[in-house]
Amino acid sequence: MNHTIKFLLLLTATVSMGSCKKFLDEKQRSALTLVNTAQDCQLLLDNYDLNTKYPNDGEASADDYYLSEGSYNNLGEEDRKIYGWVADSRRQSATQQWQYTYRNIYDLNLVLEGLDGKAKGTADATTMNTLRGSALLMRAFAYYQIAQIYAKPYDKATASTDPGIPLITEADINVKSARGTLEQTYAKITGDLKEAAELLPNTSKVVTRPTKAAAYAMLARVYLAMRDYTSAGTAANSALQIKSALLDLNTVSTSSPTPFGPQFSNPEIIFQAVSIGTDYAPPSYGPVGATTDPQVALIDPALISSYDASDLRLQIFFKPNQTTPGAYKFTGNYDAGTSNAFFIGPGTDEMYLVRAECSARAGNANNAMADLNTLLRTRWITGAYTDMTATSADDALVKVLTERRKELVFRNVRWSDLRRLNMETRFQKTLTRTAGAQTFTLPPNDPRYVLLIPGDVITYSTLTQNPR
């Protein structure tokens, strides 16, 4: 096999060099020999590429938006098939949905190997621990993004035999990859995050760097996907013990197309990460008052109608789409620095919702509603909100899940939520989309909830394709 092709199309990419001139000046040397000190490791970790370009085909497949017939017809064939959940829909190129993420994993493995090699002992213990914890958290974050799209939803009964994802742990393009099991995938993700939580400082001056709060927040997200609600609630609580600030939406512009700016300033962000950009799924901002709109993704009318008139999210998260009268576009991206990439990192609002859901599932309606009301008081017009109550833990759970969808719009969690909630009969949902005379449906627990691995990956590896 040509290792160059394997390198480019399958699992890794060249070391990211944007933040360190030293790497550019010594191109002829192997990447690993350049990771000589703790400072070299920090420079690699501070390359913002590691916080970006994560896959978004899960969000593109979820139910918060739809396309007009004209917009659908303007898509390329691959995007039309993804949109319509066509059985054989897959990306041929591995670049965006797979390679970018494994490139990040490769770079993080460089850091980890450097810390165990030449860089070992080149800084004090606290610095070395922070560097290792940072690399572990970011690698676990990357693994998780791939698992939500290309592996089955976690089911404890079958996880030991369900295929997982390639867990690349070496900075070596010659290492043969294998899918392993889903149990191994999630054990690695949670193991890395637990170790990171032990090593990292509580907080950081910049949200692009991992912290203990971020490790706990990601553990909460992962355990939620695993339907381990006891562990998810404990992790969310640990994250909130460190960082719990919420942004009062009464202080946010209701007219701006980018209300959550400047970039990285939102106090709710626990860890900064964004998906790749997309030409058709939100967010994409057009000039205020324009008669045409670059954002072709239209928000599900049922989602729009679920907000109360006094709920500021209705005005801040959404604006009228100028091209389609009566339709809405998304303007609630927490990453004000990008025009068409989602903010997908964990935030404090998400942690309140995770803890509330887990409390409700544990039978504690009062705690669930306390967390929910804490969040919603910051979302409604001052003086307009009346605390919600629940008649039972089940009632609290329904209310929390309703608000979860309304709060975490286009945060790259909806697809994962659909996958896990479909395992409970009472929360199952059949997704439906139309394009002209065509109607597309996706029933609960359908094999199409696991996307096909890109064609180039299958061609240049021995990985097995997901079934249809």
**Confidence check: pLDDT of 29 > 50:** no
- Average pLDDT across the chain, whole number: 90
453: DSSP letter: P
Is the pLDDT assigned to residue 398 strictly greater than 70? Answer: yes
CA 362 to the chain's CA centroid: 26
The dihedral built from the CA positions of residue 137, 141, 147 and 148, taken in this order, carries a sign that is: positive
Which phi and psi (to 5°) does residue 328 adopt? -125, 155
In the prediction, which pLDDT does 257 show? 86
Q: What is the mean pLDDT of residues 347-374?
A: 98
DSSP string, 333-402: -S-TT-SSEEE-S-BHHHHHHHHHHHHHHTT-HHHHHHHHHHHHTTTBPTTT------SSHHHHHHHHHH
The pLDDT of residue 201 is above 60: yes
Domains and CATH numbers, the chain: 3-250+346-459 (1.25.40.390)
Give Cα 108 distance to the centre of its chain. Answer: 18
Measured CA to CA, the distance from residue 6 to residue 110 in angstroms comes to 18
d(CA 90, CA 295): 23
Q: DSSP labels for 390-412?
A: -SSHHHHHHHHHHHHHHHSTTSS
pTM for the full predicted model:
0.92
pLDDT digit string (tens) for 75-84? 889 999 999 9
CA 366/CA 14 separation, integer angstroms = 51
